[in-house]
Amino acid sequence: MRTQVCIIGGGPSGLLLGKLLRNQGIDVQILERKTRDYVLGRIRAGVLEVGFVELMRLAGIAERMDKEGFTHAGTSISLNDEIFHVDFVEHTGTPVVVYGQTELTRDLYDALEADGADIHFNVDDVVIHDAKSDSPSVTYTKDGVTQRIGCDYIAGCDGFHGVSRQTIPTTVRREYEKLYPFGWLGVLSETPPVHHELIYSCSDRGFALCSMRNANLSRYYIQCSLSDSPDDWSDAAFWQELKRRIPEQFADTIVTGPSIEKSIAPLRSFVCEPMQWGRLFLCGDAAHIVPPTGAKGLNTAASDIHYLYYALLQHFKDKDSSGLEAYSAKALARIWKAERFSWSTTMMLHRFPEMNDFDLKMQVADIHFLRDNAAAQKVFAQNYVGVPY
Ligand code: RFL
Ligand code: PHB
C-alpha cells in the first residue's frame, strides 16, 4: 500500500488533518489502535477557540457545530462566595464555542466515512520505519496480518501514549514536564447546567469547574487526590463536595442527578522538542500536554494541524518545503504560550498541598488583581480565546 500522508491516530488531530488533506485531493491513510466507539466514548474537552471553529469550517464539517454549539462571550471566576466575570468579547472581540470533543470527533468520522476515507481501526504493533530517509513507511498488524504503508510523510497524531514520539531518538528528543500533585474528578450528568457560562472556582476546599455540553448535559469537575479512584466517589459525595466549592447562589440552585460518566484525569504539563524528525511530524497530545484548567488541550492540537496542513499543502501543490522545515519551530512557539497560560491558571485556582499562609495570601491577591484590573482581564481573555495562529 502507498499513500502521500500516513496518519497515526484517529483522534481529533489525526481526523481533522485527514479531512483537510483529502479535501485538497491529497491521499491519506489513517491508523487507529481502538474502535470508533471506543474513541467516541472518551469524554474530554468542551471549549473550542475560534481558530478551531474556523478549521472545522474550512474542512466543511461545521454544520452541526454551528447549529448546536453554544457561543460563550465570557466566563465567571469565583473565590469562595465572591464571583466576577471576564468578558472575552469586550476584551478581544471574540467568543469561544462550547461543543464537546465527542461530537466534534463524531462529525469528523461521519464526514471521512462519507467520502470513503481509509481509516483502519483496531490496528496493533504500529512501527515507523526510515523516517529520516526519503522513503519512510509504517507497518502494523490487523487481524494477525502485517501490513506496510509506504508514504511521503508521517503525521504522528497518536496521543501521549502513542509510538510516534518514542520513535524520535532520545539523543534528539528533549522533554519538559511538570506533574501536579492532584487530579480532576469529572462527572457528566443529564441535568441543565447551573449557569449559562462556565464557572472556574477556587475555594478553601480546592478547585471546581462548572461546564456543560448542551442545555441538558452538564460537565462538572472537582480537584481530587491522585490516590482517589472514581469508585471512591458516590454521586452524592461528588455533588456535596462540588456544592461546597462553588458560590452559595449556585450551590443552592444546581440541579443534581445520576452521573452518566465519572473519571479522574491527572494534571500534567509536557512538551517534546522538536516536533519533527525527518519525515515524521508530531501533532497534538503526541507532542504536548497541558493541565485542562485553560481549556487548551484540544485547541493546541488544532493549531498544530493548522501549521502542518498548510505546510503539506505548500509542499504538494507548490513543491515548496519551507513550511515543513519551519513546522516544529512555528508550532512550538504557540504551544509554549498555551503551556504558560494553562500552568498559570492552574497555579492561580488550585489548592496545592504544600501551600503555607503566605502562598494562600498570594493566591487571593492574584485572583483579586484579575478581578479588579481591566488590563489583566484583557490578557486572560486573549489567552483563553487563543493567541493568533
Ligand atoms: P488523542 O485524542 O489522544 O487521540 C490519539 C489517538 O491515537 C490513538 N493511538 C494510536 N493509534 C494507532 N497506533 C498507536 N500506537 C496508537 N496509540 C494511540 C488513540 O487510540 C487515540 O484515538 O490525541 P489528539 O488527537 O492529539 O487530541 C488531543 C485531545 O484529545 C486532548 O488534547 C484533549 O482531550 C485533552 N483533554 C482535555 N482538553 C481540554 O481542553 N479540556 C478537557 O476537559 C480535557 N479533558 C483531556 C481531558 C485529555 C485526557 N487524556 C489524554 C487522558 C481528559 C483526559 C482523560
Ligand atoms: C469541559 O467542559 O470539559 C472543560 C471546559 C473547560 C476546561 C476544562 C474542561 O477548562
Decide: 266 and 300 in contact? Cβ < 8 Å. Answer: no
Which of the following CATH numbers is that of domain 5-44+99-177+268-346: 3.20.20.30, 3.50.50.60, 2.40.420.20, 3.40.50.300?
Answer: 3.50.50.60
Ligand 1 site, CB within 6 A: 8-14, 31-34, 39, 44-45, 101, 123, 126, 157-163, 265, 284-285, 292, 295-298, 301
C-alpha span between 284 and 299 (Å, rounded): 9
For 227, which DSSP code? T
C-alpha span between 291 and 265 (Å, rounded): 9
Alpha carbons within 13 angstroms on the beta-carbon side of residue 339 total: 20
Quick one: how far is CA 74 from the chain centroid?
A: 19
How many CB atoms within 10 Å of residue 89? 15
Pocket test for ligand 2, best of 219, 298, 299, 342 (most atoms within 8 A of CB): 219
For 29, which DSSP code? E
Cα Rg of the chain, angstroms: 21
Q: Indicate which atom in ligand 2 lies nearest the CA of residue 296.
A: 10
pLDDT tens for the chain, 389 residues long, are 999 999 999 999 999 999 999 999 999 999 999 999 999 988 888 899 999 999 999 999 999 999 999 999 999 999 999 999 999 999 999 999 999 999 999 999 999 999 999 999 999 999 999 999 999 999 999 999 999 999 999 999 999 999 999 999 999 999 999 999 999 999 999 999 999 999 999 999 999 999 999 999 999 999 999 999 999 999 999 999 999 999 999 999 999 999 999 999 999 999 999 999 999 999 999 999 999 999 999 999 999 999 999 999 999 999 999 999 999 999 999 999 999 999 999 999 999 999 999 999 999 999 999 999 999 999 999 999 999 99
C-alpha span between 30 and 8 (Å, rounded): 6
pTM of the model: 0.97
How many CB atoms within 10 Å of residue 318? 10
| Ligand nearest the Cα atom of residue 188 | 2
| Ligand nearest the Cα atom of residue 197 | 2
C-alpha span between 350 and 202 (Å, rounded): 6
Angle at 109 between CA 105 and CA 114, to 5 degrees: 150
CA 174 to ligand 1 center in whole angstroms? 21
Pocket test for ligand 1, best of 8, 267, 298 (most atoms within 8 A of CB): 298
Decide: 254 and 218 in contact? Cβ < 8 Å. Answer: no
φ/ψ of 181, rounded to 5, equals: -85, 40
C-alpha span between 176 and 52 (Å, rounded): 25
Which residue, chain included where needed, has cell 457560562?
197
Task: Cell numbers for 114, please give them.
Answer: 462519507
Which region, left, alpha or beta, applies to residue 177 given φ > 0 means left and ψ of -120 to 50 means alpha?
Answer: beta
Q: Which amino acid is at 320?
A: D
CA 286 to ligand 1 center in whole angstroms? 8
